[in-house]
């Protein structure tokens, strides 16, 4: 039962998490962005299928239940760290990233402290929405990195007037710069909005877990 298909997908997702960062060590951009995006999206898709298959095929196991949230957290934490570094510590990414990372560390520590009573902190439906929002936001922001790199690469050597004329439709656009710019602009906007939504859900679910754990943290008198 340990090495059934659902558990194998979970293990592959766990190994894919550091793979996202490794892409930027061994490949030049924009290939690194493409590979990181493909790897992250593929891993995120397995997050749905491993749970679905485990329930459908009645292959749920303690190993899978233990490893699944670890794989999710590893994916999100490593990908957010990579995006924060690539953005040059942009506050629009750094602030929600800090909230997300703090909450993940806090809740993990809380579960470890509670030990046998950690079952009171079961994953809620809102927490699942939180994870979904995080993964979509991260995927969109990786796509934004692809658009940004092509925009910079294809406008290299052009003067500001030429670039402005192309983007405003006053000059010919043989390279499709307007399409690339629109992709960059919209992916950045959507990605940032989703990341802040994910940070808000992260904060709410973290407070909910703390509220549920509070009775177990009080000293007996």
Report the Cα–Cα distance between both ends of the chain, in Å, rounded: 46
For 110-121, the pLDDT digits (tens) are: 877 777 665 556
Q: What is the mean pLDDT of residues 62-81?
A: 85
Give residue 150's pLDDT.
86
Task: Give the total number of structural domains in the chain.
Answer: 1
Give residue 53's pLDDT.
76
Give residue 77's pLDDT.
92
For 25-45, the pLDDT digits (tens) are: 989 888 899 999 999 999 988
Query: Which CATH number does the domain housing residue 47 bear?
Result: 1.20.120
Average pLDDT, whole number, for the chain?
84
Q: 3-state SS string over 161-217? A: HHHHHHHCCCCCCCCCHHHHHHHHHHHHHHHHHHHHHHHHHHHHHHHHHHHHHHHHH
Is residue 30 reached through a cis peptide bond, with omega within 30 degrees of 0 on the bond before it? yes
Give residue 144's pLDDT.
92
Domain boundaries, position 179: 5-217
Give residue 221's pLDDT.
54
For 158-215, the pLDDT digits (tens) are: 777 777 777 777 777 777 778 888 889 999 999 999 999 999 999 998 888 888 877 7
Give residue 101's pLDDT.
92
Counting residues of the chain whose pLDDT is more than 90, the rounded percentage is 35
Global pTM? 0.85
For 134-159, the pLDDT digits (tens) are: 999 999 999 998 998 888 887 777 77
For 73-127, the pLDDT digits (tens) are: 899 999 999 999 988 899 999 999 999 999 888 888 887 777 766 555 677 788 8
Distance between CA 73 and CA 51 in Å, rounded?
16
């Amino acid at each position: 039962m340990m090495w059934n298909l659902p558990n194998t997908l979970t293990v592959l997702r766990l190994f894919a998490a550091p793979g996202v960062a490794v892409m930027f060590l061994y490949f030049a951009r924009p290939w690194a962005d493409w590979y990181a995006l493909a790897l992250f999206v593929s891993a995120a898709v397995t997050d749905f299928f491993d749970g679905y298959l485990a329930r459908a095929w009645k292959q749920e196991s303690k190993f899978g239940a233990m490893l699944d949230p670890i794989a999710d957290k590893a994916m999100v934490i490593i990908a957010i760290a990579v995006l924060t570094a690539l953005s040059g510590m942009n506050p629009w990414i750094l602030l929600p990233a800090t909230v997300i990372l703090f909450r993940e560390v806090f809740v993990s520590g809380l579960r470890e402290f509670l030990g046998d009573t950690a079952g009171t902190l079961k994953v809620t439906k809102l927490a699942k929405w939180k994870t979904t929002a995080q993964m979509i936001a991260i995927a969109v922001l990786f796509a934004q990195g692809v658009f940004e790199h092509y925009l910079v690469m294809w406008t290299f050597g052009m003067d500001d007037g030429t670039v402005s004329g192309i983007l405003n439709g006053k000059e010919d656009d043989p390279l499709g710069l307007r399409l690339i710019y629109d992709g960059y602009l919209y992916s950045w906007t959507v990605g940032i909005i989703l990341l802040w939504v994910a940070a808000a859900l992260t904060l709410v679910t973290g407070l909910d877990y703390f509220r549920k754990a509070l009775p177990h943290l009080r000293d007996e008198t």
